[in-house]
Amino acid sequence: METGKRVHFMGIGGAGVSAVAAFAKAAGFKISGCDLDLESQFLKQLSYDNVEIFSNHDEKHLESADILVVSPAIESLDSNNKELLAAKEKNLPVLLGEEFLSQYMIADKKIIAITGTHGKSTTTAMVGKILEDSGFDPSVFVGAVVLDWRKNYRIGHGDYFVLEADEYQEKFLLYHPFVSVVTAIEMDHPEYFSNEEAVKSAFQKFISQTDEEGTIVLGENVDLEVGKIRKKTVEKQKINLKLIGELNQTNASVAATVASVLGVEDAKIKESLSRFGGISRRFELKGEEKGVKVFDDYGHHPTAIKATIEAAEKEFQGKRIWLVYQPHMFSRTKYLFDDFVKVFSSLNIHEIILVDIFAARQENKENISSRDIVDAVKRESVKYIPRFEESAEYLNTSTQANDIVIVMGAGDIYKLSSIFLEKLKNRG
């Protein structure tokens, strides 16, 4: 490991890059970073004593750097960024966060790589917490803040490195795991994968990179060919959890199976899972004002939306449930349009509000709008209110004590929770 090197992290406020920067700093690399959003929750979790963090992009940041690590958003949306161009002119290695992680951080570790269309963040956090509670002292890399740790990573000194492996652009092929885990497979990321068969093919390649002495753990509905490598198929268990919903029972069952593969006793597994506090933006209670509870959730696929709302209906029987949903990316909305219409037509809750689509790294070449979904659903209780401020004001004037409001989506919809709670607080 070349720990004397200087590494500059561009987009250090992002979930992945901030965690990778923390690992690099702990390993002895000299690090610096820049981000246009110095208020990022992920940047705040990084201990940056003796680390220069800049609020702008400037090629001067690279004067003493040996490596540039960039967030995928910068590479895809800002390919003419002056730091990026300067790094290429200087022939500096330019790596994504996961590339740096795979090349410099995990070579001497036994990798437990957890992926899947649904549940990978929660399952990764659960496995990391079980191993921590069982004395394994693991390193852990998650795509969301683990509420028990108040950050999305854990720096350990044990043999195991538990990481959430992203299927988008097949980035999970950077890893050669000792334990490969696939929670579920469904069509997603249509901007990259042409169809569900292409998705399945990518997951097949992922598990083919598993260590011959290792194990492949497959969710109960995952059908992949494992060859000669040892396989464990997850069997659904009923586990005592703080978290609600069948999807979390599924996640816990996968995590329990992984921990058992590593030799953790069943009683220790269940004790750890029973105390697990969850991760951010997964049916996370953001606050309560005037008797209205406001939850925040990351769900952005029709299957996840349906599972979360069904869990909420079961948990809050007899209460009025409101959903504010922000579709994520034009291509996903277009490809899964019929599935979104089907789900929103089937949900038996008080009202559903759709705000404008979060563009992420795309232009609207599909010419699609949230209004199109609302028009196709054709229900009075499903409304199009494009902007956060308008939606929050509508909720403020329409909700009443004992109502449940769920703010959902993978973009910047989380901001609406705070706007709405502030309005509720000031409501007469």
The pLDDT of residue 200 is 95
- Give counts: helices (H), strands (E), the chain: 15, 18
For residues 345 and 381, the answer to whether their CB atoms sit within 8 Å is no
Distance, CA of 388 to chain centre: 22
The pLDDT of residue 270 is 97
CATH number of 6-101: 3.40.50.720
What is the location of CATH 3.40.1190.10 in the chain? Answer: 106-275
Q: What are the φ/ψ torsions at residue 321 (nearest 5 degrees)?
A: -115, 130
Question: How many Cβ atoms sit within 10 Å of the Cβ of residue 363?
Answer: 7
Q: Quick one: 284-425 is in which CATH superfamily?
A: Mur ligase, C-terminal domain (3.90.190.20)
Using CA atoms, how far apart are residues 425 and 32, in angstroms rounded to an integer? 40
- Between helix 266-275 and helix 120-133 the angle, nearest 10°, is 120
What is the location of CATH 3.90.190.20 in the chain? Answer: 284-425
Strand ranges (DSSP E) for 229-307? 230-233, 284-289, 292-297
Could you confirm whether domain 106-275 is CATH 3.40.50.720?
Answer: no
For residues 182 and 224, the answer to whether their CB atoms sit within 8 Å is yes
The predicted model scores a pTM of: 0.85
Residue-wise pLDDT for 254-300, tens only, equals 999 999 999 999 999 999 999 999 998 889 999 999 999 999 999 88
The pLDDT of residue 360 is 77
Q: What are the φ/ψ torsions at residue 266 (nearest 5 degrees)?
A: -55, -40
The pLDDT of residue 254 is 98
Helix, coil or strand: residue 9: strand
What is the location of CATH 3.40.50.720 in the chain? Answer: 6-101
Element at 51 (helix H, strand E): none
Using CA atoms, how far apart are residues 240 and 273, in angstroms rounded to an integer? 7
As given in the structure block, the two tokens for residue 280 are 């951010």
Looking at residue 11, what DSSP letter applies? T
Residue-wise pLDDT for 128-166, tens only, equals 999 999 999 999 999 889 999 999 999 999 999 999 999
The pLDDT of residue 194 is 85
The pLDDT of residue 51 is 83
Question: What one-letter code names the amino acid at 374?
Answer: V
Could you identify the residue written with the tokens 């988008």?
168
Sheet containing 139-146: give its strands across.
151-154, 139-146, 160-164, 110-115, 179-182, 215-218, 230-233
The pLDDT of residue 49 is 67
The pLDDT of residue 423 is 95
For residues 97 and 69, the answer to whether their CB atoms sit within 8 Å is yes
Write out residues in the chain with pLDDT < 70, as ranges.
1-3, 47-49, 75-78, 361, 428
Q: What are the φ/ψ torsions at residue 385 (nearest 5 degrees)?
A: -130, 100
Using CA atoms, how far apart are residues 1 and 146, in angstroms rounded to an integer? 28
Using CA atoms, how far apart are residues 281 and 299, in angstroms rounded to an integer? 9
For residues 342 and 373, the answer to whether their CB atoms sit within 8 Å is no
**Nearest in space to 377 (alpha carbons), one of 302, 313, 274:** 302
For residues 1 and 104, the answer to whether their CB atoms sit within 8 Å is yes
Strands 94-96 and 67-70: parallel
Question: What one-letter code names the amino acid at 203?
Answer: F
